[in-house]
Amino acid sequence: MRQTDRRVCEAGVCIDTLGAEPMSAITHLVEVVLVVEDMARSVQFYRDTLGLEVISPPAAPATFLRIGGHSDGIPQQIVLVPQPADMPTPTGSRLHHIGLAVAPENYETERVRLADAGFVLRGGEHPFMPVEAFYLDDPDGNEVEIATWRGSTPSSLR
């Protein structure tokens, strides 16, 4: 990281950019890999409930689900890996949460659809960005965030 010493404010959102100028060539998140106890149950949740597309062949040792539509290059994915029989079941949360975005015009429809499907939804508030979100748990207890953007994008976040 290169050191900078400026504060950027746009649309009421201020960000201290000290040390925030990245030197990495990383462009985006490719995948989140989850170890699951019951593959069929987890595929049903991510494919049928959240609408992600299975992109791996049936004989693959893991199930790869695409986040979003088709694009050039590596798709963003959630990968489900079966828990090995000799691996003890972890206790407690394995990760904080997975965040998935929906368009602002689809946010309320998704919230109602998932609540009507029997999921317990929890609210949340982002500490500094205009994001509206709710949370639910997948079959293995991993928290899944469904979020949408509710503001203009400050240039420092672009």
Ramachandran angles phi, psi of 113, nearest 5°: -60, -45
Structurally, how many domains does the chain consist of? 1
Strands (E), 76-142: 76-82, 98-101, 122-125, 131-137
In a domain, 13, yes or no: no
Does pTM top 0.85 for this prediction? Answer: no
**Domain for residue 12, yes or no?**
no
What does DSSP say about strands 13-16 and 7-10: parallel, antiparallel, or unpaired?
Answer: antiparallel
Within-domain flag for 110: yes
92 belongs to a structural domain? yes
Residues counted in the chain: 158
In a domain, 5, yes or no: no
- Which residues, including other chains, have CB under 8 Å from residue 4's CB and lie 6 or more apart? 17, 18, 19, 20, 21
Quick check: 44 and 37 in contact, CB under 8 A?
no
- Kindly state whether residue 55 falls inside one of the protein's structural domains: yes
Task: Report yes or no on 85 lying in a domain.
Answer: yes
Residue ranges making up the domain that contains 115? 28-157
Residue 17 resides in a domain: no
CATH number, residue 107 = 3.10.180.10
CA gap 34, 12 in Å, rounded = 37
Per-residue model confidence as pLDDT tens for the chain (158 residues): 334 445 555 555 555 555 555 566 667 788 899 999 899 999 999 999 999 999 999 999 999 999 998 888 888 999 999 988 887 766 665 677 899 999 999 999 999 999 999 999 999 887 778 889 999 999 988 899 999 998 876 555 55
Task: Find residue 110's DSSP bridge partners.
Answer: none
